[in-house]
Structure 1
Amino acid sequence: MFRKQDKRLSSMLNKRVEVWHTVKSTVKDRLGQYPQEDKLYRTAYAGVIPQTGSLLSGRTADTTLSRTTHKIVMRYCKDITPDMWFMYDGVRYNILYIMDPYLDHERLEIFCEVLL
């Protein structure tokens, strides 16, 4: 069923993104513990769409941070979770929430935040 507001999904997926997650290491460190480490989970084609942006000022030492939100659109995948993040062009996109529009398991719209 084609919805009027939908674009062809394949034309939106024009960026190759990496999906990362944190896992417990299989090797003990010098303290005898299994540390957490970041690991590449998979790569996928996605659309990276800017949504909003704001400046966070009044920080220590007169620094200003930029808070920008993006929507990442990708084919439906049930194993993407909110504790993961995306890397694209050297920028980390932290997942805020994941939405399956129309609940038809065709695509995911993943709303992310970038702190610069």
Structure 2
Amino acid sequence: MNPGDLRHKIKILTNQKTTNELEETTYEFLPVKTTWAAIIPQTGSLQKQAVDTILTNVTHKIIVRYSAGKDITKDMRIGYKNHEFEIKYILNPYFKNETLEIFVQEVLT
């Protein structure tokens, strides 16, 4: 892999227990580490629902170095700028332990 391809600085987010201003316990995705990655758009689709509501489905592939991403799991999320991605599955190509391909779907809030 060409190191110049890893030009996007991403945040790895985990669902952590927090306390809000009313002293209630809530869960929120908070960053635990950052790493460099390549973000490659894979597919995109628009679905028209009832009452002219449009849902979008954008899927990306995020490539990180194996050593930087070996502790990433499916219950985490990835943040990049103002985008947040839900991890669908993680692939270690040919079991070489060089890179990880993380297939994600953008979370629209």
Q: Max radius of gyration: which structure? A: 1
- Name the Cα RMSD after superposition: 2.0
- Residue 37 of structure 1 pairs with residue 28 of structure 2: yes
**Amino acid corresponding to residue 36 of structure 2 in structure 1:** Y
- Residue 21 of structure 1 pairs with residue 14 of structure 2: yes
1: CA distance between counterparts of 2:40 and 2:22? 43
1: CA distance between counterparts of 2:20 and 2:85? 29
Among 102, 108, 111, the alignment partner of 2:100 is 108
Q: TM-score, normalised by structure 1?
A: 0.80
Among 95, 107, 110, the alignment partner of 2:87 is 95
1: CA distance between counterparts of 2:31 and 2:102? 18
- Residue 79 of structure 1 pairs with residue 71 of structure 2: yes
Provide the identity percentage. 37
Task: Determine helix, strand or coil for the equivalent of 1:11.
Answer: helix
Runs of 4+ in 1 over 4 A off after TM superposition: 27-31
Q: TM-score, normalised by structure 2?
A: 0.85
| Cα deviations by residue, 1:5-59 (Å, 9 ceiling, x for unpaired) | xxx341220111111110223x59857x643232211101000000001111124
Task: Determine helix, strand or coil for the equivalent of 1:66.
Answer: strand
Give the number of the structure whose residues are more often strand, by fraction.
Answer: 2
2: CA distance between counterparts of 1:93 and 1:28? 24
- Going from structure 1 to structure 2, the CA distance change for 1:102 and 1:35 (only over 3 Å counts) comes to same
Ranges in structure 2 where 5+ consecutive residues have no aligned partner = none
